[in-house]
A and B are shown apart, each in its own frame.
Chain A
Amino acid sequence: MSEIDLRIAAPVNGSAALRAAGLAAGTILILAAPLLASEYWINAIIVPFLILSLAGLGLNLLTGYAGQLSLGAGAFMMVGAYATFSLQLRVPDLPLPLALIVSGLIAASVGLAFGIPSTRIKGFYLIVSTLAAQFFFEWLFLKFPWFYDGNSSATISLPRGLTVFGLNAETPHGRYYLTLGAVALLTLLSFNLVRSQTGRNWMAIRDMDTAAAVIGVPVTRAKLQAFAISSFILGVSGALWAFAYLGSASVQSFGLSRSYQILFIIIIGGLGTIRGAYLGAAFVSLLPLALDWLFQHLFSGHVDAGLLQNIQKGIFGLLIMWFLVKEPEGLARLLGIRLAARRRLFPSSQN
């Protein structure tokens, strides 16, 4: 044990200045990114990547930390998007950032409602509850024109565009900073949360909820908290996906395949890690581009789009299985050797 202690203690103390410098450099790079990247990169790659990371983060709190498998991530994103639309349309005085927060709260209460069955059932049986949410909201938002304001194409888009406190955020830079702000704040929140009593309760429940109950963890409350907070983040990410990335969204933007995509992000990235959501989202958004590029170069457009889609799907399937067999802790583990050493000190964060 002493050997590990030394190894941990030395680098942390020794490189504190280095770390601060790295952090500052990283922050500057992230803030200045729009000046370096082309408009295409911001609109089509960086913004969706950030939003997917946020969604992954939300689901990871529920599935990776609290161990409650959810196949309904898309549903909670959908609630967030439609709530933001309704608020912007019907409460024009509410600025967009506040509308996002209120929509997040609405999504959280919906998540809470669909999380109630988790107090009584667990494991696979719980999939039913989240899938019920998925199908119910797909039906609800399509069936009643009130939700999309009777629009003939049944799509939603912001009535006054993307404005933040009167500033127009419709430009690529505006979208980027809006998304970045939300992602940074919620990441910070999650980061602190998983290190708090709440986060430790979640992990205890994930590892074995009966044992957690025995040692006095408030299981019911912690599970419901996980559902609510996860849905809050998913709701905000859904609103951003609809309005900061797509511009106009419909029920199909948040279908079952979206839910799977978010789940794959956290499996590939790493269940129960914050950085896993980012790594997984980067992987999921870059892999299709890389494959496209590869096939363009290898066969210069002779492969038809349908086949390419199937190849992509097959590769995703293979990767999921490969990760689960070889590296169940995902990319986060592969890239985080330093973190692994620290984990040995705090076994509670290990799956």
Chain B
Amino acid sequence: MSMFLETLIGGLLAGTMYSLVAIGFVLIYKASGVFNYAQGSILLFGALTFVSLTGQGVPAPVAIAITIALLVLMAIAIEKLLLRPLTNRSPMTLFMATLGLSYLIEAVAQGIMGSQVRALDLGIDDLPIFVGDIMISQFDLIAAGVALALGIGLSLLFNRTRIGIQLRGVADDTRAALSLGIDINRIWQIVWAVAGVVGLVAGLLWGARQGVQFSLSLVVLKALPVLIIGGFTSIAGAIVGGLVVGAGESLAETYLGPFLGGGITPWFAYALALVFLFIRPAGLFGERQIERV
């Protein structure tokens, strides 16, 4: 029983790391209807910039400030050069454009800052904590706390502030929002910048775990099933989806893996997502699309 609990809790905590990545997606999808494949590369870009700066002797808070400034600039550039010309195009076109964007960001990040693995030390000791006889990783616990705090903070931003309400307006009905005088381009810039910062947080935590390197951008593929299960439009869904995927992966690897020869994590999350889709085609918290002909 304690082994089951340990696997479950370990999985749930790892799942919050997936949630962190997924939240960045949800923000952008909610506000601009873009499925942003480049979120993974933005995450890599943020973490890589931070590591390079601290490697040059820049103190960490300054490095964070510079990285955030760069992410904001990037958000503005993306909105001006890519999103604005593509307004009113099909969601598929926008998705493929972000695929191209991810190639560009990865190439620039790696071309300038190199592609070797860099260690990232956030000063969090990864010591196991024992609750009864169940072992919990301290690092995972802190990461989970960060994910939760971000989730709550962003929900407040969406529900309580002026910008958040404008944002929801844009997400709900772009044309109505425009006619009410909401500056939709400004909203997009803000959302992409916020998603970039969320990506930076996720990138730092993931980077501290597995080193900062190219494979960091592949966490986007981990976040996809999370989004599917939680629904594209819900931050709460992203968190719950992350927990489901994390727990499911870890339990499957322990209990199902031995029968299948192990190593099933890469595809298990996708299989799980497909099962969820058959039951709820718009995810657990997603909004059901109503189509008109």
CB <8 Å contact, B278 and A321 = no
Contact in complex: A317, B102 (CB < 8 Å): yes
Q: When the two chains form their complex, are residues A324 and B100 in contact, meaning their CB atoms are under 8 A apart?
A: yes
Chain A residues proximal to chain B, CB less than 8 Å: 67, 69, 117, 120-121, 123-125, 127-129, 131-132, 135-136, 138-139, 143-144, 208, 210-211, 214, 256, 260, 263, 267, 306-307, 310-314, 316-321, 324-325, 328
By Cβ-Cβ distance, the 5 closest A-B pairs, closest first, are A320-B100, A317-B103, A314-B107, A317-B104, A132-B270
* B binding-site residues for A, Cβ under 8 Å: 35, 82, 85-86, 89, 91-93, 95-97, 99-108, 110-111, 115, 221, 224-225, 228, 232, 260-261, 263-264, 266-267, 270-271, 273-274, 277-278, 281-283, 291, 293
Taking A124-B35, A135-B270, A316-B100 as known contacts, 7 extra A-B pairs with beta carbons closer than 8 A to each other, sorted by chain A number, are A123-B92, A125-B282, A128-B228, A132-B274, A314-B107, A319-B100, A324-B97
Assembled-state Cα–Cα distance A350/B231 (Å): 32
**A124 x B95 contact (CB < 8 A):** yes
Residue pair A208, B92 in contact (C-beta under 8 Å): no
- A320 CA to B105 CA in the complex, in Å? 13
Known: A128-B225, A128-B270, A319-B100. A121 touches B93 (CB 8 A): no
Chain A: CB-nearest residue to B105: A317
Q: Give min CB distance, B182 to chain A, whole Å.
A: 24
Q: Are A124 and B91 in contact (CB under 8 A)?
A: yes
Tell me, rounded to whole Å, the shortest Cβ–Cβ distance linking A32 to chain B.
38
A128-B273, A132-B274 known; A310+B110 contact, CB < 8 A: yes
Q: How far is the CA of A277 from the CA of B241 in the complex (A)?
A: 37
| Among B93, B264, B277, B283, contact of A120 (Cβ-Cβ < 8 Å) | B277
Q: How far is the CA of A314 from the CA of B35 in the complex (A)?
A: 21
The reply to whether B293 and A210 contact each other, CB–CB distance below 8 Å, is yes
Flag if B82 contacts A321 (CB, 8 Å).
yes
| Contact yes or no, A139 B107, CB < 8 A | no
**For the complex, what is the distance from the CA of A131 to the CA of B273, rounded to whole Å?**
11
For B293, list chain A residues within 8 Å (CB).
208, 210-211, 214
Q: A316: which B residues are within 8 A, CB to CB?
A: 100, 103
* Known contacts A139-B264, A320-B103; is-contact A128 B97 (Cβ 8 Å): no
